[in-house]
């Protein structure tokens, strides 16, 4: 487990459906270790690596919207800079905000477990968010997720566009409605576009699926099981399509 990652609460609200996941934090941290190792394999003196490091440096002090005022830090993307698949989530959650890394909380555990079952090695994909700072509302001492608005999504699109321009992944995956809006430039209904390729402005391909957090919010075990099944189906299709594009 990473030093900054906090163990998730075992309050029965999260389905530990994949047996290989001892704990959510262990799953997430293991995936991140592989992602960081893959990222470092890109030639340190290459133009792409240098440009990405400069982009990260600039993102650390981003003030393009007001979210930076209350978030702990910018949470930038991670993964190999020559990835064939880029996954884009909504925004960092509470644990991501503290750790400074994407997908290390409960949704990250669901994400990593689904990647494992789909046969996608996290070390081969780049993972980031449409919005780089944690937006939340305080309830006592708890920080509760608050969905980014249109202005915040637009302000942060600058970072996503530069990440995509550097990495040039032939296939980008929008995890949830916020990510889809950022990438496509308009509001879309996930159920209407899920499971089929869309063409982005640069000619690359985009697939839309749910955000893993939606599985955690499912009302009961049956709904969570079905949510996992459909998410896994999407990831398998995405893996197949990425292989076709890379061939």
Report the topology of domain 24-246: Uracil-DNA Glycosylase, subunit E (3.40.470)
- pLDDT digits (tens), the chain, 247 positions: 333 333 333 333 333 344 333 333 444 445 455 555 555 555 555 789 999 999 999 999 999 999 999 999 999 999 999 999 999 999 999 999 999 999 999 999 999 999 999 999 999 999 999 999 999 999 999 999 999 999 999 999 999 999 999 999 999 999 999 999 999 999 999 999 998 999 999 999 999 999 999 999 999 999 999 999 999 999 999 999 999 998 8
Q: What is the pLDDT of residue 93?
A: 96
Q: What is the pLDDT of residue 219?
A: 95
Strands 171-175 and 85-89, bridge-based pairing: parallel
Q: Residue ranges of the domains in the chain?
A: 24-246
Q: What is the pLDDT of residue 22?
A: 38
Q: What is the pLDDT of residue 247?
A: 84
**DSSP string of 147-185, one letter each residue:** ---HHHHHHHHHHHHHHHHHH--SEEEEESHHHHHHHHS
Name the token pair of 107.
């949704």
Angle subtended at Cα 82 by Cα 109 and Cα 180, rounded to the nearest 5 degrees: 55
Q: What is the pLDDT of residue 36?
A: 56
How crowded is residue 164: how many other Cβ atoms within 10 Å of its Cβ? 20
Q: What is the pLDDT of residue 10?
A: 32
pTM above 0.85, yes or no: no
Containing H/E element for 224? Answer: helix 221-246
């Amino acid at each position: 487990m990473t030093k900054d990652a906090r163990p998730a609460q075992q309050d029965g609200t999260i389905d530990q459906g994949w047996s290989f996941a001892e704990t959510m934090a262990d799953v997430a941290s293991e995936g991140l270790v592989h992602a960081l190792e893959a990222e470092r394999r890109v030639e340190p003196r290459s133009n792409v690596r240098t440009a990405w490091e400069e982009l990260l440096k600039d993102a650390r002090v981003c003030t393009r919207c007001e979210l930076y005022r209350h978030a702990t830090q910018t949470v930038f993307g991670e993964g190999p800079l020559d990835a064939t698949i880029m996954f884009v989530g909504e925004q960092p959650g509470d644990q991501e905000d503290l750790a400074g890394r994407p997908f290390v909380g409960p949704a990250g555990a669901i994400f990593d477990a689904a990647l494992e079952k789909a046969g996608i090695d996290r070390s081969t994909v780049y993972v980031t968010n449409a919005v780089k700072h944690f937006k939340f509302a305080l309830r006592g001492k708890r920080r509760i997720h608050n969905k980014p608005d249109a202005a915040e999504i637009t302000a942060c699109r600058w970072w996503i566009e530069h990440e995509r321009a550097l990495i040039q992944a032939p296939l980008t995956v929008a995890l949830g409605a916020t990510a889809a809006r950022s990438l496509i430039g308009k509001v879309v209904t996930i159920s209407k576009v899920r499971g089929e390729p869309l063409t982005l402005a640069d000619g690359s391909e985009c697939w839309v699926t749910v955000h893993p957090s939606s599985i955690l919010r499912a009302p009961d075990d049956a709904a969570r099981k079905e949510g996992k099944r459909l998410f896994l189906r999407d990831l398998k299709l995405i893996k197949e399509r990425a292989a076709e594009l890379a061939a």
